[in-house]
Structure 1
Amino acid sequence: MKIGVFSTFMSPLATPAMIRDFGRRAEGMGLESIWMGEHVALFDKNTYGYPGSKDGRIPVPEGGGMLDVTATFGFLAAATSKLRFGTGVALVPQRNPIYTAKEMCTLDWLSDGRIDFGIGVGWNKEEVEACGYRWEDRGARCDEFLEVMRRLWTEPVVDFAGKWVKFETMRLDPKPIQKPHVPIIVGGYAEAAMRRAVRFGAGWYGFNRDPAGTKEMLAQLDAAFAKAGRKRGKDFQIIITPPVSMSVDAMQAYAEAGVDRLIVNLGSQRPEKVDPRMKEIETLVKMAA
């Protein structure tokens, strides 16, 4: 099982020097990848709370915010040579699909094929609407946008006539280094997310899942594959970020559940917290070796 780290870099703690040093340290200790979450803006009031915290709010430092995924991964790619980078997750229904296709294939090109495109439909209604889209149809829009991107990554010339996207004889180059395209890793727990993983995914990503919860979701995933007349193959990756409180003893349970990549949450980015946490994660890397 491969070990990576989830760290959504936030200002003012995540300075250029901190991010560069963190990436080189992660690569030097044998971590397989760095994953980042995405939110372009936060709101003082939300219809739905953030599911990853008890109070429903994203823990952002006072006066700071989340850094952009694309720019940060470009910066990290230049500072490293082996680490993979994963979006955990990119909020496809509120993104422009043509710009997103260009950003991801450019990152793949410049990093020499080290990008995983983790995707989801999101939980923040206000953010989706502020980006110019409707909340209620975000699932269907996500599927159409993914189809647009997949075709732009793999076909020399594309015509497309969908509900949200229409164009003729479009070319998008360079094509991704990875074939057939940048791997799409689908996140989410609803039945629609499972169908999306079967249709588009090279893998499924679960966040804050313990071993029991992982097994439960994989049963649902396999049911979705069966409903589509297929069986989950060995090349379909299962990627999990466990709870921050996960003990090293739980790693074997994840391996037995069929997890391919364990993306451990860094937690706080305060300097006095990062060093001891990275030492804990390094222990997992050595155990998995």
Structure 2
Amino acid sequence: MKIGVFSTFMSPLATPRMIRDFGRRAEGIGLDSIWMGEHVALFDKNTFGYPSSKDGRIPVPDGGGMLDVTATFGFLAAVTTRLRLGTGVALVPQRNPIYTAKEMCTLDWLTDGRIDFGIGVGWNKEEVEACGYGWEDRGARCDEFLEVMRRLWTEPVVDFAGKWVKFETCRLDPKPIQKPHVPIIVGGYAAPALRRAARFGAGWYGFNRDPAGIRLMVNQLDAAFAKAGRARGKDFEIIVTPPISMSVDAMQEYADVGVDRLVVNLGSQRPERVDARMMEIETLVKMAA
């Protein structure tokens, strides 16, 4: 099993020095990857709460905010040589698909093929609407945007006529290093997300789930593949961020239910907490070797 780390870098704690040192340390202890969540803006009032916290709010330091994924991955790419970098997850329905395709294939080019494009439809209604898009149709828009990106990554010249995107004779270069394109890792638990994984995905990403929950999702994922008329291939990855309280002993349980990559949550970015957590994660890496 491969071991990665999830860390949504936040100011003011995530200084350039902290991120540089973290990336080098992560690579030095043998981690497979760094994954980073995405929110471009936060709101004092939300229709729906953040699903991974008890109070429904993202735990951002006072006066701080979440760093941009693309810029941060470019920074990390410059101080590492082997680590994969994964979005966990990029909020595709509120992004411009042509800009996103360009950003991801450029990162893939500059990292020599070290990018994983984890995607989801998002939970923050206010954020989606502030970015200029509707909330209720975000799933259908996500599918169209992914199709746009996939074609721009793989075809020399593209004509596209969809509901949200229309263009003719469009060229996007350089193409990704990875073939057929940057791996699309689909996050989400609802039936449309699983159908999306079967259609577009090189993998599925689950967050804050225990082994029993992952077993259930894998069974549902296999059913979605069967409904699409094919079986899930051996190259399709199951990637999971377990609860931060996961014990070392639980790693084998995740392996037993078919998890390929365990992306452990870093948690607090305070220096003393990072140091202690990375020592725990290093133990996992050694056990998985």
- Give the residue type in structure 1 aligned to 2:169: T
Q: Which amino acid aligns with 2:203?
A: G
TM-score, normalized by length of structure 2? 1.00
Counterpart position of 2:126: 126
Mapping for residues 89-168 of structure 1, pairs under 5 Å: 89-168=89-168
Q: Secondary structure at the match of 2:186?
A: strand
1:261 CA displacement:
0.2
Partner of 1:238: 238
One-letter amino acid of the structure 1 residue matched with residue 222 of structure 2: D
Q: State the distance in 2 between where 1:225 and 1:112 align.
A: 31
Which residue of 2 is the match for residue 73 of structure 1?
Answer: 73
Matches within 5 A, 1:1-289: 1-289=1-289
Unaligned segments of structure 1, at least 5 residues: none
**What's the CA shift string for 1:125-184, capped at 9, x where partnerless?**
000000000000000000000000000000000000000000000000000000000000
- Which aligned runs of 4 or more in structure 1 are off by greater than 6 angstroms? none
Give the Cα separation in 1 of the matches to 2:38 and 2:25: 23
Paired with 1:143 and 1:229, the residues of 2 have a C-alpha distance of 19
Shift of 1:20: 0.3
How many residue pairs get aligned? The number is 289
Deviation at 1:9, TM superposition (A): 0.2
Deviations 1:196-232 (A, max 9, x none): 0000000000000100000011111011011111111
Percent of aligned positions with the same letter in both sequences? 89
Q: For the residues of structure 2 that align with 1:250 and 1:278, how far apart are their CA atoms?
A: 18
SS at match of 1:249: helix
TM-score, length-normalised on structure 1?
A: 1.00
Amino acid at match of 2:137: D
Which amino acid counterpart does residue 270 of structure 2 have in structure 1?
Answer: R
5+ long unaligned stretches in structure 2: none
Q: CA deviation at 1:272?
A: 1.2
